[in-house]
Chain A
Amino acid sequence: MGVTPIRPGQLAGVPLGRRPAEPIIEIDHVSQVFKTSSRRDHTALSDISLSVEEGAFVSILGPSGCGKSTLLYIVGGFVSPTGGTAKMKGKPITGPGTDRGPVFQEFALFPWKSVLGNVMYGPLQQGIKPSKAEARARALIAMVGLTGFEKFYPKELSGGMKQRVALARTLAYGPEVLLMDEPFGALDAHTRTRLQNDLLEIWERDRKTVLFVTHSVEEAVFLSDKVVMMSRSPGRIREVIDIDLPRPRRREELLLDPRYQKYIVEIERMFDASGDNELPS
């Protein structure tokens, strides 16, 4: 593909589905207490410990309000935890950095920039020559299937298209870790499926570490190596489940695969068993 590989050959020779177990992100006894207006403190996250291996696709699954976004913001360095530490490659996270690329559910595109301008923004900021930045942006726009929309402003795009631009914009500056917060939450079922397939294809191509927040059990199982199940009040990790399904994954094959079905049923049952029944799928 025309895309400049950001870390060329880095994972060459590693067999699909089995990667070296080197933690890139370590979350160590992290807790987050918010002061609320009703003077009672609210514990959003309580004693979260999690380590994410380099190149792994990890989904965070849990009921609304269990602190999934908060956890992602802490890893992104946008919020600092009230307790514990989060580390990236062994160094404590003290703020945002280009090594961690967020894709927000709200898209957060720059409305005054065209699609091309949005995707070029990161590379230009890194001091890459405009002609090179543009070439990289155009390749990424093509990769997310938006060729022909380079000159469009965000207001002229549909929700699914904005989400693709947001993904391309983050990929453009080459973060080592993608932090995706319910990126497909607001999309219709069809677009959602298509974007899941696209994301998987992109990920299987250059194996970035992904932390992926979702409400959907199916989505989590389909995409991930590992599913982190959280429970609410206070937000804790209930269970971490390894998803041992072959890659590259294809939806048509997985839907017929009893192991895939079993994971979904198992996880849904675990949620039903707990009090946390509020799990919209």
Chain B
Amino acid sequence: MNALLKPLAPVLACCGLLAAWQLASLGLKNDSFPTALDSLRAIPPILTDKESLINILASLRRMAIGFALALSFAIPLGLLMGRSRSMAAFFNPLLMLIYPVPKAALMPIIMLWLGVGDISKTLVIFLGVSLPVIYHSFEGAKAVEEKMLWSGAAMGLSPGERLLRIVLPAALPEILTGCRTGIVLALITMVTSEMIARQSGAGNILFNALDMGQYDTVFAMIIIIGAMGICLDAAFEVIRRWLVRWSEPQFDMPLSFS
């Protein structure tokens, strides 16, 4: 019974949510709150419209670039900070200052300097993703067992090799935990950046529809963006599990759609 129910649970949860939405919307009879069915019906036209698809793909491209840049910057920095006291002493106060600032709040300034194009939006995504990844890489590197590094040193690994070939893999489970938070943040900053710099993207479709009172399209876009998040997260989780199949189960994350 339980084994049967487990894979069905997310599907049931979705159906339940849609049913509740349908009933609430039918009961409220409000123009700005379309029914679940109307919203679902609005999805295919969006996904078949060339213009919309170009917008959504542009969003995804910015997100991928921002995410990749953030990883290639944040992971080395976090690892260095975790292994070097002076690096940590230098960067920690800096990061503490940036940490609580909502990255989207920097958008107006960034737009002022860099315009409303791809560069600004990608930069905001980069900033949003970087911080959790730095933090988790830092924690992971700090926790690496000293004896493991000593073993490497006895085998003749140089300090640089130890960072790359011992600290990096040893900290990988923790780093990937940070990356997973990073993916969700990338999606959030992506939409917010497009909300502020309205020019292209999934967020742009959503807010244009809102301006024009096409509420079914608004909700359809929310569903599409949500589904994108779920799919990205699930895909990442599959990769993550494979990469850290060697690690102790304490890193297993029960909160997952995959």
Residues of A whose CB lies within 8 Å of any CB of B are 76-78, 95-98, 100-102, 104, 106, 108-114, 121-122, 125-126, 153-155, 169-170, 173, 175
9 chain-A/chain-B pairs, Cβ below 8 angstroms = A98-B155, A101-B154, A108-B147, A110-B151, A110-B166, A110-B169, A112-B169, A112-B244, A169-B151
Give bound CA distance, A98 to B16, whole Å.
63
Most buried by B among A100, A104, A111, A121: A111
A76-B150, A112-B172, A153-B246 are contacts. A106–B145 as well, Cβ < 8 Å? yes
A106-B145, A121-B155, A126-B156 are contacts. A111–B170 as well, Cβ < 8 Å? yes
Indicate if B68 sits at the interface (CB-CB under 8 A): no
Contact, CB under 8 Å: A97 / B154 = yes
A110-B169, A111-B248 are contacts. A78–B153 as well, Cβ < 8 Å? yes
Indicate if B247 sits at the interface (CB-CB under 8 A): yes
Within 8 A of A (CB), among B128-167: 145, 147-148, 150-151, 153-157, 166
Contact, CB under 8 Å: B166 / A104 = no
A122 nearest CB across to chain B (Å): 4
Residues of B whose CB lies within 8 Å of any CB of A are 145, 147-148, 150-151, 153-157, 166, 169-170, 172, 244-248
**Chain B hits for A101, CB < 8 A:** 154
Residue of A nearest to B161 (CB): A125
Give bound CA distance, A155 to B151, whole Å.
18
**Chain B hits for A110, CB < 8 A:** 148, 151, 166, 169-170
Most buried by B among A121, A169, A173: A121
Contact, CB under 8 Å: A102 / B154 = yes
Q: Per a CB cutoff under 8 Å, which of A77, A95, A104, A114 touches B151? A: A104
**Chain A hits for B244, CB < 8 A:** 112
Contact, CB under 8 Å: A95 / B246 = no
**Chain B hits for A173, CB < 8 A:** 155-156
